[in-house]
Amino acid sequence: MEVAFARPGQVPQPNVRMVALVVAMIVLSSSVLSCLATESPEVPEHAYITYGDSWKCERGFKRADDKCQSIKVPEHAFLTESTYGDGWKCERGFKSAEDECQAIKVPEHAFLTESSSGDGWKCERGFKRADDECQPVEVPEKEAPSEIPEHAYITYGDSWKCERGFKRTDDECQSIKVPEHAYLTDSSFGVGWKCERGFKSADDECQPIKVPEHAFLTDYGDSWKCERGFKREDNRCSPNDG
């Protein structure tokens, strides 16, 4: 630290650096005291502070003006992680209609899709949609350009593709073995099936997901997350420190 000494008969001059340091400390102390004195923003019941004066409703509640209202989850639906919309989603095989989940009516020669949008079903190959049913498509007979295996069809040129429920193995179409608690997918890649919500694929089968206390299934239904205020440790949810 620099110390300024005054010569005999000279008025001592203040140290500029020392003065600046003292002023800075005073300003900083005032700011800290001001922050400590500031009251926490008011948040409604079932909400928590995110940052600043902002707040968010807990899972299972949605914002309505300045309150958090409980989300009414209808039968055959589940809570979602999204903070927008209704806060719930219908299970596969059901569609949202007037605040409830109605069973999807799948006509003959159709199958359920994975998408929650639209009507939730598609016509099988060889059929086309006509209102709420599937009618056969009239295709003129023609000689196949090449030999194709059983349960396959020509796509273009000499190319072919396996029918739904079958997958390509070398030059054949093998039946897809769908395990319990699974369903066929539209994809021509992978195993050709997917586990239902609440189950996960393991060794060619669908095993139930064990959701521990203070946890919930994710929107996709193939894993789980800890509730707010808890953290994942191995296969359980432990309270957050502090």
pLDDT digits over 25-43, tens only? 765 655 545 544 445 568 8
Band of pLDDT at residue 116, cut at 50, 70 and 90:
low
> CB–CB of 227/214 below 8 Å?
yes
In the predicted structure, residue 142 carries a pLDDT above the cut 60: no
Task: Supply the DSSP string of 9-50, one letter for each residue.
Answer: T-PPPPPHHHHHHHHHHHHHHHHHHHHHHSPPPP--TTEEE-
| Poorest-pLDDT segment among 32-36, 63-67, 83-87, 225-229 | 32-36
Distances (CA, A) of 150 to 131, 163, 167, 171, 191: 31, 9, 11, 10, 19
Is 239's pLDDT higher than 50?
yes
* pLDDT digit string, tens, across residues 57-75: 888 998 888 899 999 999 9
Q: Would you state the pLDDT for residue 201?
A: 93
Q: Model confidence over 95-115: pLDDT tens digits?
A: 988 889 999 999 999 998 877
User: How far apart, in whole angstroms, are the C-alpha atoms of residue 180 and residue 57?
Assistant: 38
> pTM here?
0.62
Rounded Cα distance between 28 and 6, Å, is 31
**Pair of tokens at residue 124:** 């099988």
Q: Quote the CA–CA distance of 227 and 218 in Å, as a whole number.
A: 11
Higher pLDDT, 235 or 125: 235
Stronger pLDDT, 215 or 220, i.e. the higher one: 215
Say whether pLDDT at 82 is over 90. no
Confidence of residue 226 (pLDDT cuts 50, 70, 90): very high
Contact predicate 95/104, CB 8 Å: yes
Kindly report the three-state secondary structure assignment for every residue of 62-106.
Answer: EEECCEEEECCCCCCEEECCCCCCCCEEECCCEEECCCCEEECCC
